[in-house]
Amino acid sequence: AGRRQDALDETVKLGASYQVPALAVSTDLADPKAVSALFAKTKERFGRLDVLFNNAGFNKPMHLMEVTEDNWNAIMNVNGLGVLICTQEAGKYMIAQKSGKIINTASIAGRQGYPAFAPYCASKFAVNALTQATARGLAEHNITCNSFAPGVVDTPLWIDLDKDLMEMGMSERPGQATEEFSAGILRGRAATPEDLQGMALFLASKDSDYMTGQTIMIDGGMVLI
């Protein structure tokens, strides 16, 4: 599920190449009606819902003293409210079947604040809180909720952030912002999506059945807590 149907269709093709059936639904994840329709289609297609992966999110950096209400609301609606709405809708099906796993994508920005990313940081702190609240609220129904917190990841989000930070005057050349943020990574490089997939699969598997309410740092050693 996501906004761009072309990207969703590519994911379906990728799944088919591994003989994994998939359903692609263009969805505004901050719209309760759209999310309700998404999960109804999922249940109709697959018969049950075992795992929810709240991975949608975005950032639009602004200087702390220049953050606008529109900037704040746009980021919080997707990164915070979207997680809550999807959890509520998925929870209805999981409660009925008395099982389920909910996985949220947090961030190092949910552990410490950055002045150019204030709304994003607030949204990821919110993800940590929602993870704990969901774990406590749904435990009696045999539903777990955990999150993992990446740092700098080599994805289009960071490519866009790098451009935005240049436009803000916080860096002078392409790649500089990413390099500077990555300088403190103990593993010596930014993450790739492949570095994160093992944790996501672990949290979706039976191996994590006794874990709930946790936010796992998987940032190459950027933030030590």
Residues known to be catalytic? 120
Burial 13-25 (b: 16+ CB within 10 A, else e): eeeeeeeeeeebb
- CA–CA dist 145, 143 (Å, integer): 7
- CA–CA dist 61, 161 (Å, integer): 7
Q: Which residue has the tokens 């994590």?
A: 208
List of residues 6+ apart from 106 with CB closer than 8 A: 124, 127, 128, 131, 147, 148, 149, 215
Q: Which helix (H) or strand (E) holds 54?
A: strand 51-54
Q: Are 199 and 216 in contact (CB under 8 A)?
A: yes
CA distances to 131, 178, 220, 222 from 190, in Å = 25, 8, 8, 10
Amino acid letter, 168: M
